[in-house]
Structure 1
């Protein structure tokens, strides 16, 4: 059975989607079969894999609306053993529609049951909010990765996110431990980045794993989505690619 991991932070611009796209691609190159579930109505992970959002007939919204199975909407990505359950703006209406459904918090979890054994890792790119879509992502997940950018106010809203995770664990009896804290947009040349790293270490202490790998601020990582490719295929020699390959190896060491 594969491990389901939500990549989550309600703050935008923290490298959440970049991590979903590039970590999944890195793991597929390391002989793991990987699925990315795009749960963000912005559909940036979908675009990041070169899929035209406007031409999609079936998306993760179709699955959550119970009009299709998850298997029906999965698309192959460019890399072998890498797959995508895409999203587009249609998902934006799901928050209101699902709120009246019985067991609305577990619709994604139910949908995943049929395909869990077919993948080694399933990454959920959660939306930058703490609403019903994020709740579905957390309930479906075995663990979470929290990307935190090495910039001012990096930990803003973190208490709310941790509180939401705790509520899911306590009230819905759905354990969702933090697999790791990932520092992104890191520039070792700046004092700010080093200060943020110390702040993150102080905030989480020894309670949570902080990945050794830090994702650098990198032009190639920023350019790759506009070409519809993970950085790993856009520029295999870039420092961004190297960082995500190291992170993938770190994930595998935790198996």
Structure 2
């Protein structure tokens, strides 16, 4: 069991880049590698909650908005409050539409950027990895996720406009690092929905690697476009259950391995610095 968990925010302000798919499948992939994993849905659209097999998120109590509300009211959270155990070996905290209302009330809250962090601090030590699925905006909920995170993973669709939107996100991450969370680092950029048959997708992949590869990690793994992956949220299962031998499951397996290798390298560097 980890004494120091790694909190990864899966963020892109553009919709349709594969954030939820990545959060769910990376989480299950890490759990399959023997890690204890918590997924947290921080999007009022509740895409992660639905993808994990809960098609009526508004009926679930308590949700992440209830836990954040409690922290804002200075109430103590109960042990494991809001955590649901999933049969694919992960735990998760659901979201629903109530989170939209909470985002509005966050504006007037004390320590408004760190409410989610206070929720996670109450139980994150029990996990090796905590993955936050963020909403497609750079509003207060996403700022809360960035304030809570150690690392940011950025899924980017292999399209020109998606790549162009990266600059704004990187500026926001730098701002949060300067003002709220100095330890925040970028885990990596993940190219998603890549169609390897088209030159266009290859060109965009090369463009992103050339533009950012010297400053930021761009994962070696690309997540391919696949109809089977698009069916996932409807069946309420990860790609490992829905299509375990397919190319997308294999890509997320490799991604989980890359994330673990990065963590191992970081740990070794920290040990060397202490010597």
Q: Place the TM-score, normalised by the shorter chain, in its bin.
A: over 0.9
Q: Residue in 1 aligned with 2:250?
A: 242
Q: Residue in 2 aligned with 1:130?
A: 138
Kindly provide the CA deviation profile for residues 115-136 of structure 1, in whole angstroms up to 9, marking residues without a partner as x. Answer: 1211110000011000100000
SS at match of 1:155: helix
Q: Does 1:91 align with 2:95?
A: no
Query: Equivalences for 1:14-29 in 2 at 5 Å?
Result: 14-29=17-32
Q: Does 1:169 align with 2:177?
A: yes
Query: Equivalences for 1:53-202 in 2 at 5 Å?
Result: 53-66=57-70, 69=77, 71-80=80-89, 82-202=90-210
> Where does structure 2 lack aligned partners over 5 or more consecutive residues?
264-275
Q: Residue in 2 aligned with 1:30?
A: 33
Query: Equivalences for 1:225-240 in 2 at 5 Å?
Result: 225-240=233-248
Q: Residue in 1 aligned with 2:226?
A: 218
SS at match of 1:111: helix
SS at match of 1:63: helix
Sort the Cα spacing of 1:128 and 1:137 in 2 relative to 1 into closer, same or farther, 3 A: same
Paired residues of 1:62 and 1:68 also in contact (CA < 8 A): no
Q: Alpha carbon RMSD of aligned pairs, Å?
A: 1.3
Distance 1:72 1:41 in 2: 19
Q: What TM-score comes out, normalization by structure 1 length?
A: 0.96
Distance 2:76 2:247 in 1: 40
Q: Which moved more, 1:38-47 or 1:89-98?
A: 89-98
Paired residues of 1:139 and 1:174 also in contact (CA < 8 A): no
Kindly provide the CA deviation profile for residues 189-221 of structure 1, in whole angstroms up to 9, marking residues without a partner as x. Answer: 101111111111122131100100100001111
Distance 1:188 1:253 in 2: 25
Which of 10, 31, 37 aligns to 1:7? It is: 10
Distance 1:60 1:173 in 2: 21
Distance 1:14 1:86 in 2: 21
Q: Which has the larger radius of gyration?
A: 2
SS at match of 1:211: coil
* 4+ runs deviating over 6 angstroms: none
Kindly provide the CA deviation profile for residues 34-60 of structure 1, in whole angstroms up to 9, marking residues without a partner as x. Answer: 011000000000011102313212100
> Where does structure 1 lack aligned partners over 5 or more consecutive residues?
none
Q: Which moved more, 1:204-213 or 1:150-159?
A: 150-159
Q: What TM-score comes out, normalization by structure 2 length?
A: 0.89
Structure 1 residue 173 displacement after superposition: 4.2
